[in-house]
Amino acid sequence: MRFRLIPSAVFASFSLCGVVRAEMPALIPLPARAELKEGRFVLKPGTRVVAGKGLENEASFLTERLLRSTGQAPGSAGDGAEIRLEIVPALGAEAYALSSGPSGATVRGGSAAGVFYGIQTFLQSLPAAAFGSVAAPKEDWSAPALLVEDNPTCAWRGMHLDSSRHFQPKAFILKFLDAMAAHKLNRLHWHLVDSEGWRLEIRKYPKLTEVSKDAPAYYPEEIPTNPSFRAKYRYGHLHGGGHYTQDDVREIVAHAAKRHITIVPEIEFPGHAMAALMAYPEIGTTGKPPTAVSNITTDLIGVHPKAMNFLKDVLDETMELFPGPWIHFGGDEAPKVQWKNDPYTQKRIDELGLRVNDPQHPNASEDRLQAWMFNEMAAHVARKGRKAVGWEEIMHGENIRHLAKGSVIMPWLSAANGVKAANAGYGVVHTAVSPFYLDSYQSKDPGEPGALYQGPFTAEQIHRFNLFPDSLTPEGRGNILGAQCQLWTELMPRTDDVEYQAFPRTCALAELTWTAPERRADTEEFMNRLAAHGARLTAMGLNHRRSAPPASLKWTPAFLTASRPWVVALPAETRAKLLAGETLTLHFAYQEGAHGLDVTAVELLADGKAVAEDRHDGFTGTHPRQADYQLKLPAGSKPERVELKVTAKGSGGDDSHGEIRLGTRP
Q: What confidence score (pLDDT) does residue 504 get?
A: 97
**Which of 78-92, 126-140, 300-314, 630-644 tops mean pLDDT?**
300-314
Q: What confidence score (pLDDT) does residue 447 get?
A: 80
Q: What confidence score (pLDDT) does residue 441 get?
A: 94
One-letter amino acid of 294: S
CATH topology of domain 3-150: Chitobiase; domain 2 (3.30.379)
| 586: Cα separation from own chain's centroid | 26
Q: What confidence score (pLDDT) does residue 7 get?
A: 32
Q: What confidence score (pLDDT) does residue 603 get?
A: 95
The mean pLDDT of 58-69, rounded to a whole number, is 93
The mean pLDDT of 466-493, rounded to a whole number, is 97
Q: Do domains 3-150 and 156-439 have the same CATH topology?
A: no
Using pLDDT thresholds of 50, 70 and 90, give the confidence band for residue 15.
Answer: very low
9 pLDDT higher than 70: no
Q: What confidence score (pLDDT) does residue 310 get?
A: 98
DSSP-derived secondary structure for 436-498 = HB-SB-S-S-TTPPP-SB-S---HHHHHH--SS-TT--HHHHHTEEEEEEEE--TT--SHHHH
Q: What confidence score (pLDDT) does residue 598 get?
A: 87
Integer Cα distance of 59 and 196 in angstroms: 41
- Which comes out higher in pLDDT, residue 317 or 75? 317
- Report the relative pairing of strands 142-150 and 156-162 from DSSP bridges: unpaired
Q: What confidence score (pLDDT) does residue 74 get?
A: 65
Integer Cα distance of 276 and 205 in angstroms: 10
Three-state DSSP at 32 gives coil
Integer Cα distance of 445 and 585 in angstroms: 8
The mean pLDDT of 366-374, rounded to a whole number, is 93
Using pLDDT thresholds of 50, 70 and 90, give the confidence band for residue 101.
Answer: very high
**Chosen CATH of 156-439 out of 3.40.250.10, 3.30.429.10, 1.10.3720.10, 3.20.20.80:** 3.20.20.80
Q: Quote the pTM value.
A: 0.82
pLDDT tens-digit profile of 499-508?
A: 999 999 999 9
10 pLDDT higher than 80: no
- Report the relative pairing of strands 408-410 and 427-430 from DSSP bridges: parallel
pLDDT tens-digit profile of 251-298?
A: 999 999 999 999 999 999 999 999 999 999 999 999 999 877 766 778
Domain parsing of the chain, residue ranges: 3-150, 156-439, 553-665
E strand or H helix at 239, and its extent?
none
Mean pLDDT of the chain: 89
Q: What confidence score (pLDDT) does residue 19 get?
A: 39
**Contact predicate 23/83, CB 8 Å:** no
**Contact predicate 223/494, CB 8 Å:** yes
Kindly list the catalytic residues.
Answer: 194, 272, 333
C-alpha closest to that of 326 among 190, 127, 137: 190
Q: What confidence score (pLDDT) does residue 345 get?
A: 97
551 pLDDT higher than 60: no
pLDDT tens-digit profile of 36-47?
A: 999 999 987 678
User: By mean pLDDT, which of 46-60, 225-239, 439-453, 562-576 is the weakest?
Assistant: 562-576
